[in-house]
Structure 1
Amino acid sequence: MIEAGIIGGAGYTAGELIRILLRHPAARLNFVYSTSQPGKPVAAVHQDLLGETDLTFSGEINKDVDVVFLCLGHGNSIKFLLENQFSENTKIIDLSTDYRMEDGKHSFVYGLPEFKKEEIKHANFIANPGCFATAISLAILPLAKANLLNDEIHINAVTGATGAGTSLSETTHFTWRDNNFSAYKSFEHQHLNEIKQSLELLQPNHSVEVNFIPNRGNFSRGIHATSYTRFSGSLEEAKELYQETYKDAAFTFVVEEELHLKQVVNTNKCLLKLQKFGNKLLITSIIDNLLKGASGQAIQNMNLIFGFEETAGLKLKANYF
């Protein structure tokens, strides 16, 4: 058994990590650190865990755990690691944006398992991808890997309210979000940088525009993304390319069925559906923003680092009904 710790334990992603780690066959949750809840029972905050654990939030850190997950606000992971040192054997998995861009100044590996599996297996530090970036990258990266992105990409995606975290704001309050729908950060969302970085890595001559319109939905969790671009091949050729790309993927599947979020919510899956309209290829992708888009993918990365079965702790059933 490996020992795991969580830094920043009161938010949604930490709650999902706790839920998974409590049932993981090869990991034990050693501590959940929180500056806002020290001494308080974990289940008093994450009430879906009532009766599941007697853990309390810790005001102290065990620096010798095997793996630590950083569930801090964007910009705070860098600060935290400057102020706190872990054992040289401790693996660090960061769920913020802080280390996702490869700038040559840090040794974090971008943790998208479908395209970085071998690097992840040998990494000490993982930058967990963003939720939108995961859904969109899995939809379009097979084209880049085959050097087939030659025109603009257009993306429209909608996310559930949990993507904004637990802090209340005007656009996360129930009375604003309920029976409502809105676009935000059009063409400027921060996850665009991650997506473009992956595209350029797989298709170095890539210079086409990525047009991304993110939307807020009036549901709690999940991401539904539609991406399309010009594609000269047939639908059968596209399906063959995607099926070959993901033939060994533990959680990403190319399907024929029409997609809806209940197929993936509460799972670590990404489902992809391909359609051809004239000279355009449409790729629809769906994920749970808190699992494949955050905590589930972090556990998937942990499994790869420690040589566990990739699906360990992640064999979760969708809330279909």
Structure 2
Amino acid sequence: MIKVGIIGGSGYTAGELLRLLVHHPEVQLDFVFSTTNAGSAISKQHQDLIGETELNFTDTVNSDVDVLFLCLGHGRSRSFLENNIFSAKTKVIDLGNDFRLNNDQSFLGRDFIYGLPELQKAKIKSAQNIANPGCFATAIQLALLPLASQGKITDSVHINATTGSTGAGVMPGSTTHFSWRDNNFSSYKVFTHQHLGEIEESLVQLQSDFQAPLFFIPNRGNFSKGIYATLYTKYEGSEEEAIQLYKDFYKDAEFTMISDTEIHLKQVVNTNKCILHISKKDGMLLITSVIDNLIKGASGQAIHNMNLMFGLKEKTGLELKASAF
């Protein structure tokens, strides 16, 4: 059994991680660290876990666990690792943004690998430490990687993507409370979102001459979970050629698939799937990408990475079906 420790156990990301890990057949939950909830039952904070686990939160760690998931706020993973020493055998999977960019991937003797399985599965299998991708970054990269693999991103890419309210985290804020979010829609961080850096580095990895601008408009939706992204760019080939390119690129991917019909969020919410739809009109290739922001965009992808690192079948603990109604 893989002994697992979770740091920062009270947020949405940790809640989904716990929900999936309590029934993972190869995992033993060793501890869930939370300074604000130490001593209280995990099921008190995550009420969907009543009857699923008897564990309490703790403010101490076991430095010898097999894998450590960091579910801290962005920018806090480095300080935690500076102040807490773990065994050399302990694998670290960071769900924050501290180690995603190339210049940030070496820290205190640990080298982090960017954990997008569809991009570099072989490296993940042999990795000791993983920087889990961002949620928007996951949806957008999976929409663009096949084009980059053939050097076909030659013009600007226009991206419009909407995320659910859980993407803003569990702490309440002026744009997350119900009366503001309900029956509302807004954009934020237009053209400047923090996930652009990791997206660009992945595209360069496959298309070395990539330098086309990414015009990304992130939106807040009035729903809880999911990301619905549409992207379009100039494309010289036919729609049929593009569809085949995507199907060939993802032919061995366990969780990313191409739909021949138009797609919607209910097909992926509560699963680790990314579903893509490809069409072409007036010389523009339109790619639609849908994921669950907390699962494929965070906790499910982290478990997928763990499965690869420990030589398990990729779908172990992740055979999840969406609810269509």
C-alpha distance in 1, partners of 2:206/2:35?
Answer: 40
Partner of 1:182: 186
Partner of 1:43: 43
1:131-142 equivalences in 2 (<5 Å): 131-142=135-146
C-alpha distance in 1, partners of 2:8/2:235?
Answer: 44
Partner of 2:300: 296
Deviation at 1:319, TM superposition (A): 2.1
Partner of 2:196: 192
Please point out which of 238, 254, 260 is paired with 1:256.
Answer: 260
Deviation at 1:36, TM superposition (A): 0.5
C-alpha distance in 2, partners of 1:257/1:204?
Answer: 32
C-alpha distance in 2, partners of 1:145/1:180?
Answer: 38
C-alpha distance in 1, partners of 2:323/2:44?
Answer: 24
Q: 1:317 and 2:300 equivalent?
A: no
Give the SS at the match of 2:170. coil
Counterpart AA for 1:284? T
Give the SS at the match of 1:198. helix
**Residues 36-55 of structure 1: CA distance to partner in whole angstroms, max 9, x if unpaired?**
00000000000001111101
Give the SS at the match of 1:6. strand
Deviation at 1:104, TM superposition (A): 6.3
Query: Between the two proteins, what is the percent identity of the paired residues?
Result: 60
Please point out which of 279, 286, 290 is paired with 2:283.
Answer: 279
Partner of 1:117: 121
Q: CA RMSD in A?
A: 0.7
**Residues 37-77 of structure 1: CA distance to partner in whole angstroms, max 9, x if unpaired?**
00000000000011111010011100100000000000100
Relative to the length of structure 1, the TM-score reads 0.99
Q: Relative to 1, partners in 2 of residues 1:82 and 1:308: Cα closer, same or farther, differing over 3 Å?
A: same
Counterpart AA for 2:269? V
Partner of 1:166: 170
1:91-110 equivalences in 2 (<5 Å): 91-103=91-103, 106=106, 107-110=111-114
Counterpart AA for 1:117? K
Q: 1:18 and 2:18 equivalent?
A: yes
Aligned residue pair count:
321
C-alpha distance in 1, partners of 2:46/2:57?
Answer: 11
Q: Relative to 1, partners in 2 of residues 1:181 and 1:147: Cα closer, same or farther, differing over 3 Å?
A: same
Deviation at 1:320, TM superposition (A): 1.5
Give the SS at the match of 1:93. strand
Q: Relative to 1, partners in 2 of residues 1:104 and 1:165: Cα closer, same or farther, differing over 3 Å?
A: closer
Deviation at 1:317, TM superposition (A): 1.2
Does structure 1 retain, via aligned residues, the 8 Å contact 2:98–2:104?
no
Partner of 2:63: 63
Counterpart AA for 1:79? S
Partner of 1:126: 130
Partner of 1:83: 83
Counterpart AA for 1:29? L
Relative to the length of structure 2, the TM-score reads 0.98
Partner of 1:7: 7
- Where has structure 1 moved over 4 Å in runs of 4 or more? none
Please point out which of 230, 235, 249 is paired with 1:231.
Answer: 235
**Residues 77-132 of structure 1: CA distance to partner in whole angstroms, max 9, x if unpaired?**
01101111111000000000100001165111000000110000000000000000
Unaligned runs of 5+ in 2: none
C-alpha distance in 1, partners of 2:187/2:162?
Answer: 8
Deviation at 1:278, TM superposition (A): 1.5
Q: Relative to 1, partners in 2 of residues 1:318 and 1:308: Cα closer, same or farther, differing over 3 Å?
A: same
Give the SS at the match of 2:208. coil
